Amino acid sequence: MEAVHASLHSGTAPQSPLSAAPLEVLGVSKSYVGSQAVVPVIGDISLTLNRGEIVSVVGPSGCGKTTLLNVLCGLIPPDTGTVRWHGAAISGQPANVGYMLQKDLLFQWRTALSNVMLGLEIRRVSAVQAEDRARAMLDQLGLHGFADAYPSTLSGGMRQRVALARTLVNDPEVLLLDEPFAALDFQTKLVIESDTVNLVRDSGRSALLITHDIEEAVSVSDRVIVLSKRPTRVKKTYAIDLGVERADMIAARESPRFVDYVRQIWADLDVARQ
């Protein structure tokens, strides 16, 4: 009886049991059709993001990291392979996924608060509830008192915090981050990196971070996936164990193993020979 019930459940529900990894990429490839020829961008990528994990993807410049992210978000379809969210292949945009880029993409005509409310408005959450949740999120990210400020009056770091709040207020299970810290100055970057890592880890979320910054990848991630040049494949995967508290960016960077990882990954990227 129990077994029948379970199989019935998994047969009808769009999502598989909770045991499935939040994100699985299986044999994805993608080419662009140019005017002269077909340009292969992604050769063959498979990767898994487990629950509660932060995984970074690094690769040589122009290796199609952003294309990969757009495939994961369902913004462009892959040529081959599948993207499974919680074990289910879906078409279009996955639910419960937050997306953050280097550009904060804040709407200049909206205040910080109403920028954060954007996703809730789209899902037609009641205005009162949306505002409460957005305010709480801003407070949590240290933006208390800036709710009514327009983006043009905020610093780069604060704007990226608002963008982070806009992402997290929707309570995503998975964050897809495309170099979200790249435009920030070093100190601001470390602070926002640790805030992000804390917010991900505390709530059992997962994050896939696409970056060209090897030090950032090693300091925040559980695993680092190194991609090859185009057509992109997974070249190597590192499980990062720095032996320190993972939310402490300074301690992570001071760990003796940190330098070794960075050096190895740097060698894998093969920058000198390009």
Partner 1 sequence: MMHETPQKMTGEDRLAAELRKTRARTLRMAAAVTAAQLLLLVAGLALWQWATSASSQAAFMFGSPSAIGGHLAQMFRDGSVWRDSYVTGIETVLGFVVGNVIGTALGLALWYSRFISRVMQPFIIAIGSIPIIALAPIVIIWFGTGLASKIAMSTLSVVVVALVTSYKGATGVDDDQINLMRTLGASKFQIFRKLVVPASLTDIFAGLKLTVGFALIGAIVGEFMSSSEGLGHAIFKAGSLYIIPKVFAELVATIALALILTFIVGRVERLLTPWRRAG
The nearest distance, CB 184 to partner 1, in angstroms, is 17
123 vs 236 by CB, closer to partner 1: 123
The nearest distance, CB 195 to partner 1, in angstroms, is 20
The nearest distance, CB 97 to partner 1, in angstroms, is 7
The nearest distance, CB 123 to partner 1, in angstroms, is 6
139 vs 148 by CB, closer to partner 1: 148
Task: Report the C-alpha gap between 149 and 165 in whole angstroms.
Answer: 14
29 vs 70 by CB, closer to partner 1: 70
118 vs 249 by CB, closer to partner 1: 118
Report the interface residues with partner 1, using CB under 8 A: 70, 73, 75, 93, 95, 97-99, 101, 103, 105, 107-110, 118-119, 121-123, 149-153, 170
Give Dmax (Cα) for the chain.
62
150 vs 266 by CB, closer to partner 1: 150
The nearest distance, CB 95 to partner 1, in angstroms, is 7
